[in-house]
Structure 1
Amino acid sequence: MEYFIQQTINGLSVGSIYALIALGYTMVYGIIKLINFAHGDVFMFGAFAGLYVTKGLEKYNLPSVLVFLIALVFAMGTSALLGMVIERTAYRPLRAASRIAVLITAVGVSFLLENGGIFIVGPQAKGFPEIIAKKQINLFGSVQIDTNQIMILMLTILLMILLHYIVQKTKTGKAMRAVSFDMEAARLMGINVDRTISSTFAIGSSLAAAAGVIFGMTYNSVDPLMGVLPGLKAFVAAVLGGIGSIPGALVGGLLLGTVETGISSIGYSLWRDGVAFAVLILILIFKPSGLFGKNVREKV
């Protein structure tokens, strides 16, 4: 039982990263029915933004918690700006185009960000400094949790609460819900649809950046192609939870992280990626709407 609890804690830490990335997928899809495959590379951009800010602050001998907060806010802010630029330049001109054209564009933007990152920072992995020193805390028996895992879980919960407040209580959130329900009716009611979609990209990109900083602190290494696999797994998490559902993205990410960790813990670590995509296949076969999604009939 102690071993099971320990692996569950480890899985929730990994799943929190997937959940934060998956939120961007599910928010954008809920608004404009677009799978933004460049989202994983926004996650990469956020990780590098956090890395260079952290290195730039090393000479000032600031408290580690303050360095972390500055790096996190800077990464989230710059990634939000990047998300808005991507939406404005790549997706908005194709708003009336076919879905396949927009999907191909998303893949193209992904390649652009990856190769742009290789051109600017080089293909080699960069070491991510340990901003906050890890300390092991013994819960009971052989079950342990480190301060980094606690920080990941607390930050994920905090960002989810903040996102829930924005979507449910703010004017921007109400506009997002209206646009996701009926874009043309929302436009007729005076909602600035373009601004609302841009805000959605900004919020989703900032959450991916937070995941990027957390990833760098956890694995102490970042590279220009680091967003490919986590981005695809976050997409699996979004589909698992029900793409378009914000609670579904959170639950899907946590479940996927727990399943992956469980597979690794029983000696099949080489299969963890395959299992993640096997989950996608099974969900698409048996429950395409996901755990929290709803089957919606479309008129032909």
Structure 2
Amino acid sequence: MTSLSIFFQQLINGLSLGSIYALIALGYTMVYGIVKLINFAHGDIMMMGSYAAYFILVAVGPTPFGFIFAIFTAMVFSACLGMGIEQLAYRPLRNAPRLNSLITAIAVELILQNLMRVLPFVGPDPRQFPTVKVTPINLGAVQIDGIKALVIVASVILMIVLTIIVNYTKVGKAMRAVSFDMPAASLMGINVNKTISLTFAIGSMLAGAAGVLYATAYPMIDPTMGYMPGLKAFVAAVLGGIGSIPGAMIGGLLLGVTETLVKGYGPSAYADAISFGILILILLVKPTGILGKKTVVKV
């Protein structure tokens, strides 16, 4: 393979990984945009979605139909889990200081991880994730892994659907109104609790789908698998501009491509450090992130 084809292969790998980061980052940025909460349990919702898909694929087999059914089940399960977490853990603290909600989010993260570790049908040991067979795509001298292509295509479709929901539906308009001014939205007849719950549901659905795609591309799952992807997705959300949906998409793709290129051409052991270092440099130059907007706080 020529150096150009190797670079193109690394770029595809980076886009595949970055699209997964973007899906997870969208959940972070949607929730923060409405309730100003960093939901650190978001990466573990991704992990729960992976396990939901795992049990479906074990039962029906790693066929194309099984994969579609598994990702649908993971998204529904993750949506219900996200709504339950919001109602039980976050809603009672909505008017409390932000530090309380932040500590609660970390507690929920630890609860989900350790719950999966002690469940008898899960346990702490890693499991091999059943993967579907996808035919590689040949583009001249470059061969694109079918799984990587599947991850990119599925992620792009989900991001397009989210963009349509947010910009062109009644639910999306309500979400944008609550994000802009929650008290005014409530006075205008918008059900704030329902809107926030739907926001958690949509963000968690994307995390569940990302969990299935991540496990398909890197077929090994365990109860702590969501920690590092969740942390990097948070970095991607901040990098793109926390609260900005397009920013989360761009931040995820940039982080994935950067991480992959560093591993391919540089000291791979320092890939994570370099990724976080780029975040620090971006925030020093533009503290609001790439597409973030400055906010004025009235005192």
Q: Aligned equivalents of 2:250 and 2:82: distance in 1?
A: 24
**1:105, CA displacement in angstroms?**
0.6
Q: Aligned equivalents of 2:77 and 2:152: distance in 1?
A: 23
**1:267, CA displacement in angstroms?**
4.0
Deviations 1:206-230 (A, max 9, x none): 0000010011111111000001000
Is residue 167 of structure 1 aligned with residue 170 of structure 2? no
The secondary structure found in structure 1 opposite 2:30 is helix
Is residue 42 of structure 1 aligned with residue 41 of structure 2? no
Aligned pairs for 1:146-225 (under 5 A) are: 146-225=145-224
Q: Aligned equivalents of 2:118 and 2:280: distance in 1?
A: 35
Cα root mean square deviation, aligned: 1.1
Aligned pairs for 1:276-287 (under 5 A) are: 276-287=275-286
Q: Aligned equivalents of 2:257 and 2:184: distance in 1?
A: 41
Deviations 1:152-185 (A, max 9, x none): 1111111111101111111111100000000000
Give aligned-pair identity as a percent.
Answer: 57
Counterpart in the other structure of 2:126? 125
Equivalent residues of 2:151, 2:217 under 8 A apart:
no
The secondary structure found in structure 2 opposite 1:217 is helix
Q: What is the count of residue pairs matched by the alignment?
A: 294
Counterpart in the other structure of 2:32? 29
Counterpart in the other structure of 1:258? 257
Q: 2:239 is matched by which residue type in structure 1? A: L
Counterpart in the other structure of 2:139? 139
Aligned pairs for 1:67-146 (under 5 A) are: 67-120=66-119, 121-130=122-131, 132-141=132-141, 143-146=142-145
**1:124, CA displacement in angstroms?**
0.7
The secondary structure found in structure 2 opposite 1:154 is helix
Q: Any gaps of 5 or more consecutive residues in structure 1?
A: none
Q: Aligned equivalents of 1:280 and 1:124: distance in 2?
A: 33
TM-score, normalisation: structure 2: 0.96
TM-score, normalisation: structure 1: 0.96
Q: 2:205 is matched by which residue type in structure 1? A: S
Q: 1:157 is matched by which residue type in structure 2? A: V
**1:271, CA displacement in angstroms?**
0.9
Q: 2:22 is matched by which residue type in structure 1? A: A
Q: Any gaps of 5 or more consecutive residues in structure 2?
A: none
Q: Aligned equivalents of 1:10 and 1:72: distance in 2?
A: 21
Q: Aligned equivalents of 2:283 and 2:97: distance in 1?
A: 23
Q: 1:129 is matched by which residue type in structure 2? A: P
Counterpart in the other structure of 2:229? 230
Q: 1:139 is matched by which residue type in structure 2? A: L
**1:65, CA displacement in angstroms?**
1.4
Q: Aligned equivalents of 1:267 and 1:287: distance in 2?
A: 26
